[in-house]
Chains A and B, each alone.
Chain A
Amino acid sequence: MRATRFLALAAALGAAPAASPAAPEPVKIGALLAVTGPASFLGAPEARTLEMVVQDLNAKGGIGGRPVALLVKDTGGNPEKAVSFARQLIDEEQVFAIIGPATTGETMAVKAIAEEGKTLLLSCAAAEVIVNPVAPHVFKVAPKDSAAAEMIFARMEKMGVRRIGLLSSNTGFGKAGKEQVEKLAPAHGIELAASEVYDKTATDLTAEVTKLKAAKVQAILNWSIEPAQAIVIKNARQIGLEVPIFQSHGFANVQYARAAGAAAEGVMFPASRIVVAEALPPGHPQRPVVTAYKKAYEERFKEDVSTFGGHAWDAFHLLVRAMETAGLDREKVRAALESTRGFVGTAGTFNFSAQDHNGLGPDAFEMLVVRGGKFAVLGP
């Protein structure tokens, strides 16, 4: 009761200066991000990135003279929470667009809600199912899991690996990745000798890797985004399973490599170029974008940049660009976003179309390897 009265008072006070032309109404942009919980490796850098880019944009005068008000909702990586926050952002806050969610499971849960509310959703999650089939208002800025799987298989073929063991977590990301791996493996002549799913909160996976050892696999492929992906590496090496280890693009946060320590040496995974910004050749089109973002982020938050924060950077700038060209009409912005071509972001060059709401080609990935606790380009 007291709170309501206080709000009413605040509104009344706020109304007075609003009468003068000096204070334009802010444009509300929502964000559904797993800032805490098991997927916080994704959501937290994304939320921090948004906070940074919104502040920078507002300092420069916002969009068409109107400041941006960012509303970040922490979903904790939980699809049910994502659904209720999505409804809140769309129905109550009536945000112009939503950035996120960070995970596939959450995105699939809110896809229909965004579509129904005709609110633009720019997901930062990976799975191809988000944009296939295409929903008019749902876009996705992270590279596709199918592209990641193709890249990994191409590498395995080159190394002569025929028999692999797949481990995946029981999350939307893990399940979608598992499906892609199962679908694409036969075309590359690769046999899944074992495929095991583990819980996203798993604390030790010795038995799972023992099973892979028993299946005599020539390589391990792990598909998850949780700390468990660092545990897998340690456990495999501890039981003496000395085969090459591949990870999904979910590994692209150097904290994971650091957490696995000596065991992480030689782990291979596909990732966006942001994590190897300095190693890019001077003429590379992405170099200016990724180095500028990396510098700004690392100076401000005193932590290493990850691909995930980069997804939020891409989503926000794609959205702002569309809003600047099309004004503040949702349908016009949607059309503008869909016709975006040649936008250079942290994840690659985006070319959206009515059929392709991801816009990134397979060249968005670079195959990386862990060397000396750092990410390096694996090379040919």
Chain B
Amino acid sequence: MSVALALQYLVAGLTYGTIYAVVGVGFNIIYNATGIINFAQGEFVMVGGMTAVTLHAFLPLPAAIAGAVLVTMALGALVEVTFIRWLGRPSVLRMIVITIGVSILIREVALHVWGEQVRALPYFTGDEVTALELGGVRVSPQVLWSLGTCLAIVAALWFFFRRTTLGREMRACAANRDAAALCGLSTRNLVTLSFVLSAGIGALAGCVVSPITYTSYSIGAGLALKGFTVAVLGGLGGSGAAVAAGFVVGILESASVAVLPAAYKDAVAVAVLLAILFLRPSGLFGSREAERLRAS
């Protein structure tokens, strides 16, 4: 295999990885704040993309994306206030059932609102055939947009959680909700905020990947599955870890296509996930301490 070809596979892997990572990051925020996996995360991604396409009919692209993010954030708040807030201390199983129910609800409403047609935002730069030539390898500019967005989200989250009061409060709430409440923090509002943040990130992800993957009412579940895989692989917690895990899965999938029939691509991703969960239950980048905290 020539070097150029190997690099082209690498680019394919980065494309997959970026899509998974940008969706996967959204899972971590709610998990950090509440310890639950929000199975409706994929629907946030879908609603973001679909709303942006709708708004783009009468707004310029950046405004349409901003609008879509705001609409989806409102939806995130609505979901939390309606279904989660009044529950007190729900069991994990109950939360799984509730969030899956919410995801089905959102999907069905989306079907009624938008129909079954496939839509997409236009490419942010160039069009469907544009590609940047980098040393014999061709990359669609949209992949770079997604990658950039992904890294920007990680950086912004790092800053938010480490350097702002509100972010520190959310971390306090995640570490020990009772202690945080005793310190006078409104833990319920912080949980709502985590849904809002997560929905906003999901929506942004939905917008940047929509030119690549297209978007339709049913795309949420498929994207969420891969996003969830990389979030778990990254050790559920750090956004940077989720992104790194996304690239690991994406590049492995792409490499598998190079040597195996492409039909095994998804099997490779699942096999990697299983292997890592057996060998390192805390994920690729999860610390032992995190595992202990989670168990308590």
A interface vs B, CB < 8 Å? 35-38, 40-41, 44, 170, 196-199, 201, 203-204, 206-208, 210-211, 213-214, 227, 230-231, 233-234, 237-240, 255, 259-264, 303
Contact = CB atoms under 8 A, between A and B. Distances in A.
B156 interface: no
A197 B223 CA distance: 20
B149 interface: no
Q: Which 6 residue pairs spanning A and B have beta carbons closest together? A: A206-B12, A203-B213, A40-B116, A207-B257, A207-B12, A263-B128
Contacts, number: 120
Given A201-B222, A214-B258, 15 more contacts: A196-B257, A198-B262, A203-B219, A204-B15, A204-B19, A206-B11, A206-B15, A207-B253, A207-B265, A211-B257, A238-B138, A238-B140, A240-B133, A255-B117, A260-B128
B200 interface: no
Contacts of A214: 1, 5, 258
Interface of B: 1, 5, 8-9, 11-13, 15-16, 19, 111, 115-118, 120, 122, 127-131, 133, 138-140, 209, 212-214, 216-219, 222-223, 253-254, 257-258, 261-263, 265-266
Nearest to B7: A210
Contacts of A196: 257, 261-263
A231 B118 CA distance: 12
Where chain A touches its partner, the secondary structure class is: helix
20 contacts: A196-B261, A196-B263, A197-B261, A198-B262, A198-B263, A199-B265, A203-B213, A203-B222, A206-B254, A207-B9, A207-B13, A207-B16, A207-B265, A210-B5, A210-B12, A238-B140, A255-B118, A259-B120, A261-B127, A262-B127
B275 to A, nearest CB: 21
B138 A207 contact: no
A259 B214 contact: yes
Contact of A231 (B130, B213, B216): B213
B189 to A, nearest CB: 35
A170 B128 contact: no
Name the residue among A38, A41, A207, A240 with the largest chain B CB count within 10 angstroms.
Answer: A207
Contacts of A207: 9, 12-13, 16, 253-254, 257-258, 262, 265
A203 B138 contact: no
